Amino acid sequence: MSDPLTSHEASTARRRGLTVIAAAVAIAALGWGGWHWFNARHAETTDNAYVAGNVVQITPQVGGTVVSIGADDTDYVRAGQLLVQLDPADARVALDQAEAQLAQTVREVRTLYANNSTLQAQVSLRQADLARAQADAARLQDDVNRRAPLMASGAVGKEEFQHASAQVTAAKSTVAAAQSAVQAAQEQLAASQTQTEGTTIEQHPNVLRAAARVREAYLAVQRAQLVAPLDGHVAKRGVQVGQRVQAGAPLMTLVALNDLWVDANFKESQLKNLRIGQPAELVADVYGTRVTYHGSIAGLGAGTGSAFALLPAQNATGNWIKVVQRVPVRIALDPREVAEHALRVGLSMEVKVDTADQSGKALADTQRTAPVAATTVFDEQLQAADADVARIIAANLGRKAQAGPAPTARKSTAPTAATLAAAPLRAATMQ
């Protein structure tokens, strides 16, 4: 056996071991310090973050009975696709009545304009009668004036002179009657012109009022078809065939999974370093660390979550305990990464924000110039209603409708996936 180590050798070995350990700790401390200086001190992290998106409630604008459902939970739908069909029978009856009323109103207004011409002719006729009566009265008055000197000499008898004077009196009465007739005809013309002057048949108030009723009834028929306002997936369908629904009742929910963001709830002590535009890395629990999303801060909330709660905390009570508050911070995601690895609304995320760049603003101070969200699927409703009004007016004016979009022929209420552009409306021209 070898001789045991001397006390000096043992002490040397112990010091060497402690030196190695101290060196390792120093190197680790330096490494951690360098990592913290160059990386960690410029990062704010939180695991209190969740995926959010536009959750659109599909609600009817008119009440009715559900006759068909065009999409179910988890289905993908395009903007304009039929989701729910309501029974349009009552709305179509109202539309027929409104169209008939518009046609009748146009013909009545045409009669007003035609009466103007008739009354103008009456005024001309009465004026001609007046001119003729005035000429006759003037001629008879001249005849009386010639006979007056002759009556003194006896060349003209008194009876003959009196007869001529009576004719003058009668002629003056005729002139007065003709003047009254002219005035009455002019007043009738003026009264009729007040109904038509300064406007056309198409722009006449009566026609506009009837046309507005047609548009209202037309839109009611169109709105019996509930269509998707945007592309997305159906979630939480709560409507059944045969169900009687009221205007505004939620029937199903549509979620646009291609337009998502993350609401990261940071502690109030972390907000001092957060700025709009700072880059962020995100990890979803559904994929784990093998998938990393990239985004940027789009905005910081205007208050803490508790400030907007349904029942905000009342800190004036005696049982007050300080709780660190959190403020929601919106993180915009890269759409390409979301398309490659689909997310769902409500999924948990871990967020890491690089706060090295402090040039951004803590709060937005520019006004938004474009709408946050918009849809054009309802624009065709009013356009088709205008085309229907133009068709009815043109048909009852005795001329063909101008070229332009015309409503399509009415179809049955059988379940279809047609878009709103194929509105079930009558194309037959009213005569």
Q: Tell me the percentage of the chain whose pLDDT exceeds 70.
A: 79
Domain count, the chain: 1
Angle between helices 89-153 and 205-222 (to 10 degrees): 170
Is 157 contained in some domain?
yes
Is 170 contained in some domain?
yes
Checking if the pLDDT of 245 tops 80, the result is yes
Gap between the Cα atoms of 385 and 391, Å rounded: 10
Tokens representing 126 are 């009465």
Distances (CA, A) of 241 to 75, 82, 85, 247: 18, 14, 9, 16
251: confidence class by pLDDT, cuts 50, 70, 90: very high
Is 97 contained in some domain?
no
Mean pLDDT of 352-365: 87
CB 346 within 8 A of CB 51: yes
Checking if the pLDDT of 401 tops 90, the result is no
144: confidence class by pLDDT, cuts 50, 70, 90: low
Mean pLDDT of the chain: 80
Checking if the pLDDT of 215 tops 90, the result is yes
Cα four-point dihedral sign 27, 29, 33, 36: positive
202: confidence class by pLDDT, cuts 50, 70, 90: confident
Distances (CA, A) of 259 to 23, 49, 74, 208, 279: 52, 17, 17, 42, 18
Is 139 contained in some domain?
yes
Give the count of beta carbons closer than 10 Å to the beta carbon of residue 415: 13
Checking if the pLDDT of 408 tops 60, the result is no
Q: Tens of pLDDT along 33-58?
A: 776 666 656 788 999 999 999 999 99
Between 144 and 330, the higher pLDDT residue: 330
Look up residue 426 and give its amino acid. R
Gap between the Cα atoms of 368 and 73, Å rounded: 34
Q: Which domain holds residue 136?
A: 109-204
Gap between the Cα atoms of 25 and 29, Å rounded: 6
Is 147 contained in some domain?
yes
Is 306 contained in some domain?
no
Is 215 contained in some domain?
no
Among 350, 353, 333, 352, CA closest to 342: 333
Q: What is the pLDDT of residue 373?
A: 84
Is 217 contained in some domain?
no
Checking if the pLDDT of 417 tops 60, the result is no
Among 278, 279, 276, 304, CA closest to 366: 276
Q: What is the pLDDT of residue 27?
A: 83
Least confident of 77-81, 105-109, 113-117: 113-117
Q: What is the pLDDT of residue 257?
A: 92
Q: Tell me the percentage of the chain whose pLDDT exceeds 90.
A: 39
CB 305 within 8 A of CB 327: yes
412: confidence class by pLDDT, cuts 50, 70, 90: very low
